[in-house]
C-alpha cells in the first residue's frame, strides 16, 4: 500500500475514534467526570509507556531533560488538555453532546484567531469572512441556548491553546503524551486515593467490566493519538485539515441520533451558519494551496533555457 494511502487511513481511523468518544464515556457511569478524568490520565501513561517499550524508544528522555523550556510548555499543555478532557467528559455524560461537537466545529476558526492575536499572522479576506460567519453562529446559538455556549467555547479555546503549546514544544506525540501524563499523574493518583479512602471510588466496586472500561480510557486516548501522528507524517496538512471534520460530524450525529438531544430550528440555523463558515474556510484553504503550488512551478520558458 502506498505510504500516502496508509497515512490517509490512519487519519480517518484517528478522527473516527475521536468522533465516537460520546459512545464510550457514558459506559463509565456511575463514575463522575473527575474520576473518569483521573483514570484517563493514569491509564494513558501506562498505555503510552507500553508503546514506547515496544518501540524501545527511550533516548529522547535525556535530550528533553536538557530543554527546560520544552518541559515547561508540555507541563502547561498538560494543564490545558486536562481542562479540555474534563469539560468534554462532563458535557457528554450530562447531555451536551451536540454542544461539545460545536466546540470542535469552531476550533479551526478559534485557532485562526489565535494565530492573528498571538502570532501576528494576517488573514486573507475569505478567512475573515469565515471567522465572521463563525462569530455570527455563536451569537445565534447564544440566543437559542439563552446563554453563551460555554461548553463549546471552552473546548475550542482549550484545544486551540493546547495546539499552540504543542506546536511551540515541537515534541513527538508519544513523547509529549508521556510528559503530559507524568505531570498529571500525581494529582490524578491523589484524587483516586482520596476517593478510595472515602469509599466513594467506583473502581473495583462497580464490577470487573466497569474497571476494565476505566482502564480502557487510557487505551482509547493513546491509540487515536498514535494514529494521528502516523497520518501527520504521511499526508499533507490540507488533507488533515479536511479530515478533522470527521470527528465533530460523528459527535454531532451521536448527539442527535443516539442521545436524542433536542434540535430546535434556531439551533439548526446556528449549526448551518457554522457549517457554511467551515465550507468557506476549507474552500479558501484549498484554493490558496493550489495557487501556491502553481506559483512554485517553473514556467515552461525557464524549463527550455
pLDDT tens digits, one per residue of 258-298: 999 999 999 999 999 999 998 988 888 788 778 877 777 76
**Closest listed residue to residue 28, CA positions, set 199, 228, 174, 221:** 221
**Whole-number Å distance between alpha carbons of 254 and 99:** 11
Query: Taking the CA of residue 88 as centre, how many other CA atoms within 13 Å lie in the half-sphere pointing to its CB?
Result: 27
pLDDT beyond 90 at 7: no
What are the pLDDT digits (tens) for 175-210? 777 888 888 899 999 999 999 889 888 888 878 899
Cell of 302: 525557464
- Quote the crossing angle between the two packed helices 173-198 and 33-55, to the nearest 10°: 140
pLDDT beyond 90 at 114: no
pLDDT of residue 1: 60
Residue with cell 476505566: 214
| 300 — pLDDT class (breaks 50, 70, 90) | low
65 burial type by CB count under 10 A (0-12 exposed, 13-18 middle, 19+ buried): exposed
Cell of 75: 507541563
What string of H, E and C letters represents the secondary structure of 77-95?
A: HHHHHHHHHHHHHHHHHCC
**Closest listed residue to residue 244, CA positions, set 29, 16, 2:** 16
pLDDT of residue 261: 92
Could you tell me where the DSSP H helices lie in the chain? 3-19, 21-24, 33-55, 60-65, 68-93, 97-119, 125-145, 150-169, 173-198, 208-232, 237-243, 246-253, 265-296, 300-304
pLDDT beyond 90 at 61: no
- Across 85-89, 108-112, 200-204, the highest mean pLDDT is recorded for 85-89
285's CB contacts (< 8 A; 6+ apart) are 238, 241
- Check if the beta carbon of residue 112 is closer than 8 Å to that of residue 162: no
pLDDT beyond 70 at 86: yes
Average pLDDT over residues 59-65: 81
What are the pLDDT digits (tens) for 228-263? 777 877 777 667 777 888 999 999 999 999 999 999
The model's pTM: 0.84
Amino acid at each position: 500500500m502506498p505510504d500516502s494511502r496508509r497515512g490517509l487511513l490512519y487519519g480517518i481511523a484517528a478522527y473516527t475514534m475521536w468522533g465516537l468518544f460520546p459512545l464510550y464515556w457514558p459506559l463509565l457511569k456511575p463514575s463522575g467526570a473527575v474520576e473518569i478524568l483521573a483514570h484517563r490520565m493514569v491509564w494513558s501513561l501506562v498505555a503510552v509507556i507500553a508503546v514506547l517499550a515496544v518501540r524501545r524508544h527511550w533516548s529522547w528522555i535525556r535530550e528533553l531533560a536538557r530543554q527546560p523550556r520544552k518541559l515547561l510548555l508540555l507541563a502547561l499543555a498538560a494543564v490545558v488538555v486536562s481542562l479540555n478532557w474534563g469539560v468534554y467528559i462532563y458535557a457528554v455524560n450530562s447531555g451536551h453532546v451536540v454542544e461539545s461537537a460545536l466546540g470542535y466545529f469552531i476550533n479551526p476558526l478559534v485557532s485562526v484567531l489565535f494565530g492573528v492575536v498571538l502570532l501576528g499572522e494576517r488573514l486573507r479576506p475569505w478567512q475573515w469572512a469565515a471567522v465572521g460567519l463563525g462569530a455570527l453562529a455563536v451569537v445565534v446559538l447564544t440566543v437559542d441556548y439563552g446563554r453563551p455556549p460555554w461548553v463549546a467555547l471552552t473546548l475550542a479555546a482549550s484545544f486551540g491553546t493546547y495546539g499552540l503549546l504543542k506546536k511551540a514544544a515541537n515534541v513527538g506525540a508519544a513523547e509529549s503524551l508521556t510528559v503530559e501524563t507524568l505531570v498529571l499523574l500525581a494529582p490524578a493518583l491523589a484524587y483516586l486515593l482520596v476517593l478510595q479512602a472515602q469509599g466513594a471510588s467506583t473502581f473495583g466496586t462497580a464490577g470487573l467490566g466497569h474497571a476494565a472500561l476505566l482502564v480502557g480510557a487510557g487505551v482509547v486516548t493513546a491509540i487515536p493519538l498514535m494514529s494521528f501522528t502516523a497520518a501527520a507524517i504521511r499526508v499533507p496538512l490540507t488533507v488533515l485539515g479536511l479530515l478533522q471534520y470527521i470527528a465533530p460530524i460523528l459527535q454531532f450525529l451521536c448527539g442527535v441520533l443516539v442521545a436524542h438531544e433536542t434540535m430546535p430550528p434556531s439551533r439548526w440555523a446556528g449549526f448551518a451558519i457554522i457549517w457554511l463558515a467551515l465550507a468557506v474556510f476549507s474552500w479558501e484553504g484549498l484554493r490558496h494551496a493550489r495557487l501556491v503550488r502553481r506559483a512554485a512551478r517553473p514556467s515552461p520558458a525557464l524549463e527550455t533555457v
